[in-house]
Chains A and B, each alone.
Chain A
């Protein structure tokens, strides 16, 4: 039953509010007596309780005329009328309430426990804060952008929901010296994150931890020790250019610039390239591109548009032994391979520089054919028909990446079919 609303019978019994101030409930300063209305006080005010605990509350009425009675008063909690068996009249002007096994607060501003007059009007209230103390925050991870700042993220403790407003504070200090500092810019990369913009020392370890506090207690995470230089990340490489390699229909050349913010330190940087066909979602990744600022992709489909991205890891910056943190991928750059009716097998490595003559693809193709043949050495019938079958199969297998059915393959002696993956040639 909603509280705070009065029934039609009560409506007619109420006086219209006069111009003079009425008797007030929520007042800053002493309440003033009006006519015909009462005030009440609930005790306790704003209690904080553990989930599952009990509460004994009282509503004491006083006012004008004296002899205001506790009869007819009733309780609501969060707008719902409480069963009368929980209430008890203590004396002429006091109504008591016994609540047991309380649930977690419905809203952070507290559950509203209200004492109502017979006509439904609000006499007094008290906000209940029922919840759990915070759990230890976990999984702190930090990274520094270009050695200039530090951003950290964490996860609240296992159970998460404390039902009370929980304040998180990220703290840090130099491991062997100095006082605790508190991070001030919160929620930079999500709800549990903080950003330290300046005044960070390099080449020396920091201790970092998170403190969670609410009305019922506090908890502190484990301490994370790190050196800023071990968690450096940087911007993605700018100026990524993808271009054709002469008339080669299965290659593209990728060129980029080392990220400017760290360009003086990136002698050991690692790069990664990924590329995909225009209408596919599967990326191919080229790893181990150490310290070059260009790479040639080979084994691509002719006449196809490719999207290419590059990212950088400032590995070993200032002699750090640890891998850095990969940057974001650069904006995708697109380029297309020249048209041809031939298709080449997929490849995942950078080709050496120094252009190959245009007979390169044919030679490679033949080489791969011979390799394929080796696996199927029991085939005695080498013929153009077989070669053409293989060519046709290569084209189809390139389109359907995950279907490795061989067509026209030589049957094995035991009659089983064998799958061949072009990459393994």
Chain B
């Protein structure tokens, strides 16, 4: 087993253990900049390699490889999503912190919904499937940043919550990178990066901000669940 460190924004995100596989060892396309545990690559470099097509890469990646990596990351994220939601709710006080709290009536127009009719979802083509997921995780990274900023104001003495929100955002960014790699491997065009938050009303009240964070952490879980399903489908479609 070989441990790799994945860098995002110059910070080490995860160490995913990988099987020693000569094929994967030659994978040089930085999905996000792979680094030895010692060095750090600047964030700008990371983002650049994310957005540019890998013309400089000598070895073409197979879709199967990039799908497999994305799938592993999504599974890993899935393990922690409910903890993020629970931690978040804990810090907002009752009723949010009550056991079994659920308020599906609270939604955000700036976040695409993760639920879909099964038939519609099943028959999406690859481009649409990935594009929807990318749009969602892009929105989630931006919303998670906003939630983290709000919580550092509402709950200033809560390093655990702030750290978890930060980690969730980094992982979502990681998944975005991996999905970009899949798009590239499949020869699909990259969707443009949008400002999903739109015009922010700076006057949101404390309660509105608490609700926002709840919806974001809830939807982060839903979209991670969906990403696992999306990627499982793609994995079956493009076997190694």
Interface residues of A (CB under 8 A from B): 2-5, 17, 19, 21-29, 32, 37, 42, 45-46, 76, 78-80, 106-114, 121-122, 124-127, 165
Contact = CB atoms under 8 A, between A and B. Distances in A.
Contacts, number: 131
Given A108-B156, A125-B207, A28 B98 contact: no
B100 A5 contact: yes
A124 B210 CA distance: 12
Nearest to A107: B93
Contacts of A19: 113, 115-117
Given A17-B113, A109-B92, A114-B95, 6 more contacts: A2-B100, A46-B205, A79-B94, A114-B207, A121-B105, A165-B157
Given A46-B205, A110-B93, A114-B95, A25 B105 contact: yes
Given A17-B104, A121-B103, A45 B205 contact: yes
A47 to B, nearest CB: 10
18 contacts: A4-B96, A19-B113, A22-B107, A25-B105, A26-B204, A26-B212, A26-B215, A27-B109, A28-B200, A76-B95, A79-B94, A112-B92, A112-B207, A121-B105, A122-B105, A122-B106, A126-B205, A126-B206
Nearest to B199: A29
User: Interface size for chain B: under 10, 10 to 19, 20 to 34, or 35 or more residues?
Assistant: 35 or more
Interface string B92-134: 1111111011111111111001011100000000000000000
B210 A127 contact: yes
B102 A5 contact: yes
A111 B92 CA distance: 9
B154 interface: yes
Given A45-B205, A125-B207, A127-B210, A112 B105 contact: no
B100 A112 contact: no
Interface string B180-209: 000000000000000001111100111111
Contacts of B209: 26
Contact of B156 (A21, A23, A106, A165): A165
A122 B156 contact: no
B211 A46 contact: no
Contacts of B208: 25-26, 125
A114 B93 CA distance: 12
B103 A4 contact: yes
Nearest to B213: A26
A5 B100 CA distance: 8
A32 B100 contact: no
Contacts of A109: 91-93, 154-155, 206, 210
Contact of B157 (A3, A21, A108): A108
Contacts of A27: 108-110
A29 B196 CA distance: 12
Given A21-B107, A121-B105, A127-B207, A28 B201 contact: yes
B100 A78 contact: no
Ranked nearest first, the 4 interchain pairs of A and B with the lowest CB-CB distance are: A79-B94, A125-B207, A26-B211, A127-B206
Contact of A78 (B93, B113, B215): B93
Task: With a 10 A CB-CB cut-off, give which of B103, B105, B108, B116 has the most chain A CB atoms.
Answer: B105
A25 B211 contact: yes
Nearest to B200: A28
A23 B109 CA distance: 8
B154 to A, nearest CB: 4
A17 B101 contact: no
A125 B211 contact: yes
B98 A45 contact: no
A171 to B, nearest CB: 20
A350 B96 CA distance: 67
Nearest to B202: A28
Given A29-B198, A107-B93, A2 B108 contact: no
Contacts of A127: 205-207, 210
A45 B105 contact: no
A64 to B, nearest CB: 14
B108 A26 contact: yes
A17 B107 contact: yes
Given A27-B109, A121-B105, A122-B105, A45 B207 contact: yes
Interface string B62-106: 000000000000000000000000000001111111101111111
Interface in B130-161: 154-157
B96 A112 contact: yes
Which residue of B92, B93, B156 has the most chain A CB atoms within 10 A of its CB atom?
B93
A5 B101 contact: yes
A107 B107 contact: no
A121 B211 CA distance: 13
Contacts of B206: 45-46, 109-110, 126-127
B76 to A, nearest CB: 28
Given A2-B98, A19-B113, A112 B93 contact: yes
A80 B157 contact: no
A52 to B, nearest CB: 20
Contacts of A22: 105, 107
Contacts of B108: 24, 26-27
Contacts of B115: 17, 19
B231 to A, nearest CB: 21
A22 B219 CA distance: 14
B101 A4 contact: yes
